Structure 1
Amino acid sequence: MASKVLFKAAFSMYLLLPFFAFLAIADNFESNPIPSETICDSTPNPSYCKALLPKQNAKVHDFGRFSLQKSLFQSRKLLQLANFYLRDKSRFSQGTIRALEDCIFLSELNVEYLSNSNKFVMKTIQTVSTSEVDDAQSFLSAILTNHQTCLDGLMTTASDLSIKNGLLGALSEDTKLHTLSLALFTKGWVHEKKNKTMWDSVGWHSGFRNGRLPLKMSSRVRSIYESLRGRGRGLQSNANDSVVVSDMVVVSEDGSGNFTTINDAIAAAPNNSAPSDGYFLIYITRGVYQEYVSIPKTKNNLMLLGDGINQTIITGNHSVVDGWTTFNSPTFAVVAADFVAVNITFRNTAGAIKEQAVALRSGADMSSFYSCSFEGYQDTLYTHSMRQFYRECDIYGTVDFIFGNAAVVLQNCNIYPRLPLSGQFNTITAQGRTDINQNTGTSIQNATITAADDLAGSVSTVETYLGRPWKQYSRTVFMESFMDSLINSAGWHDWNGSFALDTLYYAEYNNRGPGSDTTNRVTWPGYHVINATDAANFTVSNFLQGDAWLPQTGVPYLSGL
């Protein structure tokens, strides 16, 4: 025990110690010491890696720890720099201010994610669990996504030279560092995971079925719940009470509940509750709620329950054309872990003419959405980062309307391309994976893809594609889904000429319907028609590790194919 304490104290001061001293007290791992040059040759940017890592022989875990500590140090510096720029807002346009505010928000998340990851890598390999590896890889993948989102926002809005020469330069350099940290983590920890194959499994897990909610409540909360049933709210409980609810409040526009706004109800929820405490349930009665909701990271373990699609509606109209960044345009946004939403419509009414206008953005780890609707045009559903699951949801849009860089599975959802602006074509997905080591991608399983009512009469004149590569390592899989005739025979569209066509991963497996014929699909190096074994990698069990966290939500899901 004493040696571990000594090691941790010494390593936290690595900037002040020569690297050989750090190695002398490092834990004994199974891998053999090798030169930093050897490790660097297999990273995405060998020259940067060689310049950063000390020229010593060490184990990959030692180098990984070193890089992660450096990433944490640089993320704190970036946060300070962004805050410095915002001290004098009079210098900048409203668009630049909002982009800087996004960067501060995202940098704060990165500092937390890196702190959590550094705690994990201090453990010896013998004490590491597969779930902890998955958690840390998700954190490190999200760090790059957050970093890229900050960079994209500033590139789009910032015109001030001090930002372009200062903050953008720091962001670009730190991208190399975070990429290296993820690569070394992947080499040192991820390769030791043992994934199971679920391609031949039925794996059905029931939950909110036929309107019955498997909720376990205290007698006080149960009395509130039952009183709502008595008032004709349509709520029913299940005999199998498997989802723990710690407390419950009601939001109602007519004043009959505890609150009249969703934001007030969220503010009343406890902070930083443990998963074992159960969910804080916010029941939102039918009505149209015109408010912008952003659930911070401290409000974890929230469950929002509405009266149904098109009954409980949360709506707004922020858009890029009206001065918002894409990241802060959502009607509803959440980054708090273990979030559940059921029976709610999330809507952005800005319209196609206002370009990017997000209905919902989720960066909430282990978040799930069941029987919800997402309505917009361009950039409707922003699956930004971390691990997410959507079941039996309706998604409407035109351009890139399911986008982001989460590890996400959309299962049994209805996808409705709408009528775009004149001259536009529809793209269902725009996946934003920037690094080959990120555990992210969009998996769409057993979906039904048909034209929305406004597009139905124009299918022959409007091209609709499954997706296009927003970022270099874009990864999207459609499997076991029905594709109507509106899907263009090529299937996929390029983003900008040959960009990413050999580095993306687009795949189709066992789809059906007139639009599913792969005979005339694109011939890009990154496009694949895959078999069941490959498709199994993108199931709930393997891609999201969903069997470890979805049962507690009560949301039904299929583990495998």
Structure 2
Amino acid sequence: MMENNRENHNKNHCDSEIEMKKGTEMPMEGLVETENGTFSSIQEALDDLEHHPDTVRRILVHPGIYEEQVTVRVPGVTICGESRETTEQTVITCALGARTILGDGKKRGTFRTYTMFVDAPDVTLENLTIENGAGPGTEAGQAIALYADGDRLCVRGCRLLGWQDTLFTAPLPPKEIEKDGFIGPKQFAPRTKTRQYYEDCYIEGEVDFIFGGAMAWFENCTLFSKNVDREIKGYVTAPSTPEDQRFGYVMSHCRFESNCPEKTVYLGRPWREWAKVVLLNCEIGAHIRAEGWNDWGKELAHETSFFAEYGCFGQGADLSNRPDWTHQLTKDQAEEYSVAKMFE
């Protein structure tokens, strides 16, 4: 997976930076630091790193509200808050919704709404809140908080907040269904496979709030479905796994939580026919519908998709009413899923 040495080095570096600042008189709230100096925005710090490639690629973000749309194109950069205790106070936020009409007369569209766009490999995000505050999908449309399009992306201890389409795990599907449906930074780019790792994160939303074609492992994350004013409250996942890709989403030891009424949310549905989601030893709340999974009207997906569960528990984990086109793994089958295999 992500090399353990790299992860530990990044974490220790951030911690040592914090210790150094504790002895200073300078107030750091709302400021961002790199080896080169102090900046008032995350984008300024990233732009500076792009112009100084020999600089240590680490950005320390102090508590504050950073109202900006951030694009990360620095390979190997670590962007971290001070600590897990300051994650809720270290907020990167925008409020861009897909339904907004822009100056060219076109809607903004889903893939131009992001608060943060990661477009580089080996990026680490830690102890940050990344938020799209555009509002419910019924009002704002899709609104991405994190557009993740980097291989070997590592996201730890972060809060990803939004409503519809909170986290997009690239790549895009090969073809759009609606004209200009993929308008945005990667509309015409090659569909490059990505491997992503999320650990100890809180991710919230309503409809399809984790979606896309990545191989993505979620370890010990809380996946929170927000209540909205409609009968079916939402869908946690909507993968578009490529046909030739072994893994899609794996949720391991995650918690599916909600403030929705009982049996009003689906675990997932296939954005494209070859969608893959596997739940391993997850706690599933009472808000999940008895059937668990929805086919999105795609009968072909009954043969091509792979939605599976193993060792899950909680009020929503009863498998007796799951559709016959979904899967219940054996112990041996479940052991075929590991971070090492996904990242090999």
Equivalence map 1:124-273=2 (5 Å): 213-215=11-13, 225-231=18-24, 253=30, 258-270=38-50
- Would you say 1:540 and 2:326 are equivalent positions? no
For residue 93 of structure 2, the aligned residue among 315, 318, 324 is 315
Pair 1:251–1:337, CA change in 2 (3 A): farther
Q: TM-score, normalised by structure 2?
A: 0.81
Answer yes or no: is the 8 Å Cα contact 1:252–1:259 preserved in 2: no
- Partner of residue 76 from structure 2, selected from 296, 301, 304: 301
Q: Return the TM-score normalized by structure 1.
A: 0.51
- The change in CA–CA distance for 1:330 and 1:255 in structure 2 (over 3 A counts) is closer
Residue 274 of structure 2 contacts residue 306 of structure 2 at CA under 8 Å; is this kept in 1? Answer: yes
Partners of 1:205 and 1:253 lie apart in 2 by 30
User: What are the Cα deviations for residues 432-459 of structure 1, in whole angstroms up to 9, with x where unaligned?
Assistant: 0242x124401100001111xxx2xx41
Q: CA deviation at 1:544?
A: 2.2
In the alignment of these two chains, the number of paired residues is 306
SS of match in other structure, 1:538: coil
Among 291, 296, 300, the alignment partner of 2:68 is 291
Distance 1:260 1:206 in 2: 27
Deviation, structure 1 residue 227: 2.3
One-letter code of the match for 2:30? E
SS of the residue corresponding to residue 58 of structure 2 reads strand
- Unaligned runs of 5+ residues in structure 2 are 101-106, 172-193
Asked if the contact 2:31/2:38 (under 8 Å) is kept, the reply is no
Match of 1:84 in 2: none
Q: State the secondary structure of the residue aligned to 1:486.
A: coil
Amino acid at match of 1:228: K
The residue type paired with residue 152 of structure 2 is M
Give the partner amino acid of 2:124: V
Aligned pairs (5 A) from 1:45-56? none
Distance 2:334 2:309 in 1: 8
How far 1:304 sits from its partner (Å)? 0.6
Structure with the largest fraction of helix: 1
| Alpha carbons 1:251, 1:282 under 8 Å: kept | no
Partner of residue 358, structure 1:
144
Answering whether residue 196 of structure 2 is matched by residue 391 of structure 1, we say no
Shift of 1:293: 0.4
Instruction: Show the counterpart of 2:250.
Output: 443
* Structure 1 residue 207, shift from structure 2 partner: 6.1
Tell me the equivalent position of 1:401.
209
Higher strand share: 2
Residue aligned with 2:208, SS: strand
Q: Give, in whole Å, the separation in 2 of the partners of 1:350 and 1:370.
A: 24
Q: Secondary structure at the match of 1:269?
A: helix
Report the CA distance shift for 1:497/1:337 in structure 2 as closer, same or farther (over 3 A). closer
Contact 1:410 1:443 in 2 (8 A): yes
Are residues 1:338 and 2:122 paired? yes
Give the whole-Å Cα distance in 2 for the aligned partners of 1:364 and 1:311. Answer: 26
Larger Rg: 1
Per the TM alignment, residue 327 of structure 1 is displaced from its structure 2 partner at its CA by 1.7
Report the RMSD for the aligned CA atoms in angstroms. 2.9
Judging changes above 3 Å, is the alpha-carbon distance between structure 1 residues 484 and 423 closer, same or farther for their aligned structure 2 residues? closer
- In structure 2, C-alpha distance between the alignment counterparts of 1:402 and 1:414, rounded to whole Å: 12
The CA distance in 2 between the partners of 1:254 and 1:213, in whole Å, is: 19
Inter-CA distance 300–251: structure 2 relative to 1 (3 Å threshold) = farther
**Per-residue deviation, 1:268:** 1.0
1:537 is paired with a residue of what secondary structure?
A: coil
**CA distance in structure 2 between the aligned counterparts of 1:397 and 1:280, rounded to whole angstroms:** 31
| Alignment partner, residue 492 of structure 1 | 293
SS of aligned partner of 1:489: coil
| Distance of 1:232 and 1:502 partners within structure 2 | 63
Could you say which residue in structure 2 is the equivalent of 1:503?
Answer: 304
Q: Distance in 1 between matches of 2:295 and 2:284?
A: 20
Distance 1:309 1:447, change over 3 A: same
SS where residue 238 of structure 2 aligns? strand
- The gaps in structure 1 that reach 5 residues or longer are 1-130, 132-203, 234-249, 546-561
Secondary structure of the residue aligned to 2:197 is: strand
- In the alignment, which residue of structure 2 is the partner of 1:414? 222
SS at match of 1:521: coil
**Alignment partner, residue 459 of structure 1:** 261
DSSP-derived class of the 1:501 partner? helix
2:55 and 2:306 mapped to 1: Cα distance?
38
Percent identity reads 28
1:71-150 to structure 2, matched below 5 A, reads none
Q: 1:232: how far off?
A: 9.7
- 1:495-534 mapped onto 2 (5 Å cutoff): 495-524=296-325, 527-534=326-333
User: Structure 1: how far apart are the matches of 2:122 and 2:296?
Assistant: 34
Check conservation: 2:32, 2:42, Cα contact below 8 A. no
After superposition, the C-alpha distances for 1:74-98 in whole angstroms (9 at most, x for unaligned) are xxxxxxxxxxxxxxxxxxxxxxxxx
Q: Are the aligned partners of 1:405 and 1:440 in contact in 2 as well (CA < 8 Å)?
A: no
Counterparts of 1:493 and 1:511, CA distance in 2: 18
